[in-house]
Structure 1
Amino acid sequence: MKTVVNKNLTPEQQEELLSYLKIRFEKNMNRHKGLDWSKVQAKLETHPEKLWSLYEMERTDGEPDVVGYDEKAGDYIFCDCSRESPKGRRSVCYDREAQESRKEHKPENNAMDMAAAMGIELLTEEQYRDLQKLGIFDMKTSSWILTPADIRGLGGALFADFRYGHVFVYHNGAQSYYAARAFRGSLRV
């Protein structure tokens, strides 16, 4: 998938994206039991700005899929479901402050700015743990997760992965970045 600069997908790009999403939805029904693709698609088609965000998730190898439905808000919840952290979002530190604090070897980007630019949010620890109930993710990689302000205020940031049959949440300096660490995002439609 190509980078889309103006946040408007062509009809062909929309069709291609919806096709990918439908195939993934039907292939992974355990992630969204009881939900109907035609209703998801109808909601997506009325929110083109959300389609653009999903396109960006797909373009950066996040493999977005529906992981829930919020009945109160009437929102479908999409999340990156790639087996490992999205390849197109790796080698980033946590946020702009961390990125700017590096004296040398600065990463090209940071997780918080990338997520905002894509119109998505980093997963919370709870969302990350819930995702792991739907499959096994990040067995060889790790993903930045939304960090509480008190931890971030002290210079740290949280990331998580799945090892030895368990979800582990760790801390690191927010300015750190690794080739095997990216971030997973969520989007409400």
Structure 2
Amino acid sequence: MNNNKKKLSPRQCKELLSVLNARFEKNRSRHKDIEWDKVQARLSGNQASAEKLWSLNEMERTGGEPDVVGYDKKTGQYIFYDCSVESPKGRRSVCYDREALESRKAHKPENNAMDMAAAMGIELLTEEQYRELQQLGNFDTKTSSWIITPSDIRKLGGALFADFRYGRVFVYHNGAESYYAARAFRGSLRI
């Protein structure tokens, strides 16, 4: 029964592919040299696992608006990022990780970014990936997103987040236990 939990029904797959196709066509500048037919074949064929489609659906369900942003020639994988204009609404008000969540004495958030991403089968964007995303448009102009934090910063209690203000990307730090209504996280998925 547990295996079915991370699998979409045929109807859900069809609906997801329709949404992804429409977004792909609307935002051609994000993937100029990529053809939808090849992406769809990867998503629909034996090459894509049911769990990867489920993860894409989770990205969509939580407001991430996933879209193809690249193709890795070495691995033959398509790369999806959350491309919602602002941080995904269904993932806001979370601290950075479980350690941070457990360290809070009062007013704990419901969840944390690292556990949510793992449960969804995706990874938080790195600083480099976040900067790549910003080359495709202006994201997080009113919100911010947690990004992968180097272990030396995390050991000291901090965590990194980023946003786009005044025409540039800013990377900041906060206590990992902090959380805000306008901060979520953006993920990546390779299929």
Give the match's secondary structure for 1:8: coil
Which residue type is aligned with residue 137 of structure 1? F
1:44 maps to 43
Structure 2: where are the runs of 5+ without partners? none
1:117-156: per-residue Cα shift (whole Å, max 9, x none)? 0000000000000000000000000000000000000000
> Any residues of structure 2 matched to 1:133-152 within 5 Å, and which?
133-152=135-154
Size of the aligned set, in residue pairs, is 185
Normalized against structure 1, the TM-score is what? Answer: 0.97
Shift of 1:34: 1.1
Shift of 1:20: 0.2
**Among candidates 74, 93, 96, match of residue 95 of structure 2:** 93
Instruction: Answer yes or no: is 1:74 the counterpart of 2:73.
Output: no
2:11 maps to 12
Give the match's secondary structure for 1:137: coil
Shift of 1:23: 0.2
Give the match's secondary structure for 1:77: strand
2:160 maps to 158
Normalized against structure 2, the TM-score is what? Answer: 0.96
- Bigger drift between 44-53 and 24-33 goes to 44-53
Give the match's secondary structure for 2:105: coil
Shift of 1:37: 0.6
Which residue type is aligned with residue 37 of structure 1? W
Distance 1:93 1:53 in 2: 21
Runs of 4+ in 1 over 6 A off after TM superposition: none
Distance 2:60 2:39 in 1: 17
Distance 1:163 1:77 in 2: 26
**Among candidates 155, 164, 170, match of residue 172 of structure 2:** 170
1:120 maps to 122
Distance 1:38 1:114 in 2: 31
Structure 1: where are the runs of 5+ without partners? none
1:67-112: per-residue Cα shift (whole Å, max 9, x none)? 0000011010000000000000000000000000000000000000
Distance 1:73 1:84 in 2: 30
2:61 maps to 59
Shift of 1:28: 0.4
Distance 2:56 2:75 in 1: 19
Shift of 1:44: 1.1
